[in-house]
């Protein structure tokens, strides 16, 4: 295994809301994604979801509050909590998620990704 340069990996793709797998460890996957606009409200019944912002500002709308995640910060959405990520400008994030997690959780939408591309 060699080191992984996150910025170099971000430079390999431009598509939005389509996470790319860059690693796995202990039943978890490490994903990179570029976001812009609004995602769908969804939840993951059995998995927590960590959003780490590398570039930009991410808003995560919950049913009862709004979370703002700035560059260098992360937020963990607890399992079973409905959430909708929003990026007014392009945002680059790292996601740490169980291998079993589904992209849009309990919702099937046009943007649902079944299998993450590895880069």
What fold, for 6-118? Jelly Rolls (2.60.120)
Enumerate the H helices of the chain as residue ranges: 6-10
Cα–chain center distance at 3: 21
Percent of the chain with pLDDT over 70: 87
pLDDT for res 83: 95
Interval 72-84: pLDDT, tens: 999 999 999 999 9
Q: What is the pTM of this model?
A: 0.85
Judge whether 21 and 113 are in contact, CB under 8 Å: no
Task: State whether residue 116 is helix, strand or coil.
Answer: coil
**Is the pLDDT higher at 100 or at 54?**
54
Q: Where along the chain do its domains lie?
A: 6-118
Judge whether 30 and 21 are in contact, CB under 8 Å: yes
pLDDT for res 82: 95
Interval 29-72: pLDDT, tens: 999 999 999 988 988 888 888 999 999 999 999 999 999 999 99
Instruction: Mention every residue, 6+ apart, whose C-beta is less than 8 A from residue 34.
Output: 10, 13, 14, 15, 16, 17, 90, 91, 92, 93
**Is the pLDDT higher at 101 or at 57?**
57
How far apart (Å, rounded) are the C-alpha atoms in residues 91 and 70?
10
Angle, CA of 43, 48 and 56, to the nearest 5°:
85
């Amino acid at each position: 295994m060699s080191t992984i340069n996150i910025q170099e990996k971000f430079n390999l793709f431009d598509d939005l809301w389509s996470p790319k797998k860059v690693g796995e460890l202990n039943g978890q996957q490490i994903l990179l994604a570029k976001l812009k606009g609004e995602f769908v409200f969804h939840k993951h019944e059995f998995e927590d979801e960590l959003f780490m912002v590398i570039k930009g500002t991410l808003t995560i709308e919950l049913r009862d509050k709004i979370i703002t995640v700035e560059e260098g910060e992360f937020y963990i959405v607890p399992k079973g909590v409905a959430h909708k990520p929003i990026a007014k400008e392009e945002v680059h994030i790292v996601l740490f998620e169980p291998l079993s997690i589904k992209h849009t959780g309990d919702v099937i939408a046009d943007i649902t990704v079944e299998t993450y591309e590895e880069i």
